[in-house]
Amino acid sequence: MNNKHPIRILLCLFVLASLVAPIFAQKRGKSIIYGVVNDGALIEPIAFIENGKLTEAVGGDSDPKDLAAFVKNYYKPKTAYRLIFGGATAGTVTVKNANAKSDCAKNMADVTIQSTKVKIGGFVMALATDLVSKSAASGLRRKPTAAEKAEIDKLVRAELTAQNVSAAAQKNLHYHNLTVLDVDNDKKPEMVGSYWVETGAEERALLFFIAGQNARGKYEFGYSSFSTLKKEEVMSQDFKDVDTTGLDHELLLDVFDIDNDGVAEIFTYSPGFEGAGFYAYRRENGKWTRVFEGSNYHCAY
């Protein structure tokens, strides 16, 4: 009789373990990655992740049945996701509630963040995911030094000059974000930046870029995107929304290696008046290429 007790104990332990298994391990279907936005109070879906590739998630303008199923599967209260900062797990993002019938956040969720490492707020955003990357992330994410920023400012001015932005406009460089990262843990930093200048009372010039160090240890752009924005193109007709809150700019979320190749993809966010755009970049042959572009409708302005 005594020989049976260990078996019974093991069976009991197995049952208990299955009941209290972390929500992290619950199968919801496809893996997913979110932007952690609104000062860390919301998560917004960027994309599903399948075999190292990104596919568009359920959008805010999707069929009500699809939205209801998405919220049920991914936003159960107390569902936990990994907070990604500097490409590494830096805490937990826990779902508080979600409502597929809400006016402007049908596929988003209210969350709380538990982290002793980072504070999310303003233009300092992050990612959340249920995917576990097999790569050893650096976890590096910081502001640039004065010398690093001076070097980047020179590159920015050179690019603006190439785009026919006047020297007078370049005297006052503005930026929403300039962040130092290490996407492949090689101790050689990359930088992601979102700059802008006032080219007139009715126009702005915007520049988003990814920069890395060349063989000489000098920064150069591996990707850049220049655009102009006229006041008449701003829905509110007020540049304050663009200049202070970052609307219509492309902004860094964070980095995460989704395909386990040892180089993290860079994820960005473009907030708008009626929704948001999401982008992902992958380094290929030393250059960064946009490999994903998605959008999420919120509601009419």
Judge if 112 and 39 occupy the same domain. Answer: yes
Judge if 214 and 292 occupy the same domain. Answer: yes
Judge if 292 and 161 occupy the same domain. Answer: yes
Q: Is residue 135 part of a domain?
A: no
Predicted confidence pLDDT, tens digits, the chain (301 residues): 445 555 554 454 444 444 334 445 355 689 999 999 999 999 999 999 999 999 999 999 999 999 999 999 999 999 999 999 999 999 999 999 999 999 999 999 999 999 999 999 999 999 999 999 998 899 999 999 999 999 999 999 999 999 999 999 999 999 999 999 999 999 999 999 999 999 999 999 999 999 999 999 999 999 999 999 999 999 999 999 999 999 999 999 999 999 999 999 999 999 999 999 999 999 998 899 999 999 999 999 9
Q: What is the pLDDT of residue 6?
A: 52
Q: Is residue 199 part of a domain?
A: yes
Last residue of a domain, one of 129, 157, 188: 129
Tally of structural domains, the chain: 2
Judge if 278 and 219 occupy the same domain. Answer: yes
Judge if 290 and 146 occupy the same domain. Answer: yes
Judge if 34 and 104 occupy the same domain. Answer: yes
pTM: 0.90
Last residue of a domain, one of 129, 151, 171: 129
Q: Is residue 258 part of a domain?
A: yes
Domain region containing 96: 23-129
Instruction: From residue 52, give the alpha-carbon distance in Å to each of 23, 33, 154, 225.
Output: 23, 12, 36, 25
